[in-house]
Chains A and B, each alone.
With several copies, the nearest count.
Chain A
């Protein structure tokens, strides 16, 4: 995958003007994580009403790929119910931006926000459900994302 393919218009635009960037003061759940190797760091806040993600915002620091993927991911998640959000996959995010063949190190940039989203979800479910097996599965899933 050459850079000409990676750094297309949409990535550059999202990196300069991310969507859903910011904080939600009265969030129902928030989660922070970072990429130990490069220092990218992302927070996601969500409002959850009726089992639905009624609002979602992210903030943090990261490269163009991280920013673009966070924008796309939050756009995908918004309005979906929890089960649908749980099922968002790598390829949903990468596909949207044509990044399926990204090299290993950069995959971590691209998927950091998905990891944070999944972690946010298990932290929410852990508090609001008592199907702990389900939560563990989700935790494992987030940990093994890349």
Chain B
């Protein structure tokens, strides 16, 4: 414990932004990690080094720089494969982020595999990026979008899943492994085994899971898996779609363009091998390299150590927040079922006002609907405040958050 604690203190030194002051000379307390994380020097330096020493377009040229750039790019693919235990590297596709990953599946798999009256099942606590693409697709196809409901503890009602699966019309079940608002860790094992038994494919939105705990897609057994680099110390503009090869091989391309083709003729074209068939155009090479550095950084610490650190912080924060009079916390208190995300409301004060008042103390939390308006409706709230933690956060920062809430209470005469 001691030494783990000590090493987490060293970690902060790797993040230059944490030395910043904001507003009136207040130390930055960054607690919006579910939205995006800060970047360590190692990641910033990898991007730097790429541009200063190796930058070239990849795959096609024979000269030295192109060879180096291609190698760096493809090495990152291996790192990703290894990080989430993908056996076949060609199943790893680089995209902009989780949103593009899910849209790619909706277009390149969904349009060929969904027909009238088919059903896609999602959940009430999904991020908009795991709802809207399916609304667009089901509308186009005359198919239906259904929702697995949630109990008041923020856990999915798997009876709903059974009910939809029983119709025999479900083509895909899609859910987030960890909710970005409630922190709920979905019971993926049960969901996926039910779907497998019914012969239904599954997509897992891993945006809030991969950065925070060990994820093994082989073990999960899903068919599609999506996550974003910027939420795991990596740069903006890069994310991953993993698709099981047997499915990926049946999919038509999404974007047309350079690199995804084998032979282009005026009126017909053949496709490149996997994964290139799905990586049209010049990719975001520098940020793929940056993501590789982020994965190295996380692996060096160890995902289990990171998860334990977040459990410590989250338990501490849940405990402290519960003691604040008038403060309501959403979701389960069972820490084994919850990631490092805490949504709350403070008396009758709107979350925007909370966030703005504590921002003046240097504390950055998110307020609003968190791209989860369906969940807001379910919770019957307009918005929540949300604090979310990562490897560089400390108990002192949680104390600072609690302190700042006193100011809110004072201003709003709570």
Contact = CB atoms under 8 A, between A and B. Distances in A.
A and B touch in the complex (CB under 8 A): yes
A34 B348 CA distance: 20
Given A62-B350, A105-B70, A143-B273, A3 B262 contact: no
Given A36-B263, A65-B352, A105 B411 contact: no
Given A36-B262, A36-B272, A106 B356 contact: yes
Bin chain B's interface residue count.
35 or more
A131 to B, nearest CB: 21
B71 interface: yes
Interface stretch (A18-26, A37-45, A116-124): A37-45
Contacts of A87: none
A5 to B, nearest CB: 11
A64 interface: yes
Given A39-B368, A41-B263, A104-B67, 20 more contacts: A3-B356, A12-B412, A12-B413, A15-B353, A16-B348, A34-B262, A36-B276, A37-B59, A37-B60, A38-B60, A38-B368, A39-B383, A40-B382, A62-B382, A64-B352, A65-B353, A105-B60, A105-B61, A105-B62, A105-B70
A38 B383 contact: yes
A103 B262 contact: no
**B interface majority secondary structure:** mixed
B360 interface: yes
B37 interface: no
A7 B353 contact: yes
Interface residues of A, number: 26
Given A3-B356, A7-B357, A109-B352, A36 B273 contact: yes
Interface in B361-378: 367-369, 373, 376
A16 B353 CA distance: 13
A64 B383 CA distance: 13
Interface in B308-331: none
A6 B355 CA distance: 13
A61 interface: yes
